[in-house]
Amino acid sequence: MALKLYDYWRSSAAYRLRIALRLKGVDFESVEISLHPDVRAQHSDAYRALNPQIRVPAIEVEGQVIGQSMAILEWLEETYPTPPILPSDSLLRLRARAFADTIACDVHPLNNPSVLNVLKGTYGADGDAISVWYADWITRGFTALEAQVAGHDTPFLFGDAPTIAEITLIPQVYNAQRFDVDLTPFPTLMKIDAACQKLPAFAAATPEASKP
């Protein structure tokens, strides 16, 4: 039976899971929960009953709907270990997870629509102010990440194949480009982005390829 993924094409956290599912060749069924401001399907009573956090992505396991993309990536790795999305070496595994968490815990949360809505609604931020806010957090995070991985000597960040690090990086680069963030200070990150875009699992998981 296909794994049920509560999904939205433009959600970058959902994009992470689409990449991982395709890398691992897991059969999945995408259930569209539109976060579009005119639809806001995540606020429907039906979805709230399934997932009280009213966010995507989420998956259904043993009849339970569970969210949080980074927790789900760990579950995918344990449940479908081949090919791995974590390095086999302990220190590299720590570094790959720390890289991913810098995006998942320090960059992406600041640019979530729920946060931008408060900035607009409570603080009167206009489009330009939102762009400055958005770019600031990406630039801070990417500056730290570029320093950590510049000069790495493997085809991908932590070895010969993409890991959880690329799985979180590539959707964040997509968001950065969508908001016209200057990415020229991050040549290592951009080289990895280009390498990943050539892989079928990444190409099939993009927002454009995932529109319903």
Binding residues for a second copy (CB under 8 A)? 52-55, 61-62, 64, 66-68, 70-72, 74-75, 78-79, 90-91, 93-95, 97-98, 100-102, 104-106, 108-110, 112, 114-115, 118-119, 122-123, 125, 129, 133, 136, 140, 143-144, 147-148
The residues, ordered by sequence, that sit 6+ positions from 121 with a Cβ below 8 Å of its Cβ are none
CB of 49 to a second copy, least distance (A): 10
Report the alpha-carbon distance of residue 118 to residue 48 in Å, rounded.
Answer: 21
Residue number, 104 or 169, with CB nearest to a second copy: 104
Tokens describing residue 14: 């959902």
Choose between 110 and 183: whose C-beta lies nearer to a second copy.
Answer: 110
| Most distant CA atoms of the chain, gap in Å | 50
- Tell the smallest beta-carbon distance from residue 27 to a second copy (Å): 18
Query: What is the closest distance, in whole angstroms, from the C-beta atom of residue 143 to a second copy in the complex?
Result: 7
CA 92 to CA 87: how far, in whole Å? 6
Q: Phi first, then psi: what are they for 31, rounded to 5°?
A: -105, 110
Helices and strands, number each (H, E), in the chain: 10, 4
Q: Give the C-alpha separation, 69 to 92, whole Å.
A: 21
Residue 39 or 144: which CB sits closer to a second copy? 144
Closest to a second copy by CB, 157 or 199: 157
Is 197 within 8 Å of 189 (Cβ atoms)?
no
Give min distance, CB of 191 to a second copy, in A: 19
Smallest distance from a second copy to CB 201, Å: 22
Closest CB to a second copy among 8 and 199?
Answer: 8
In whole angstroms, give the CA distance from residue 40 to residue 42.
Answer: 5
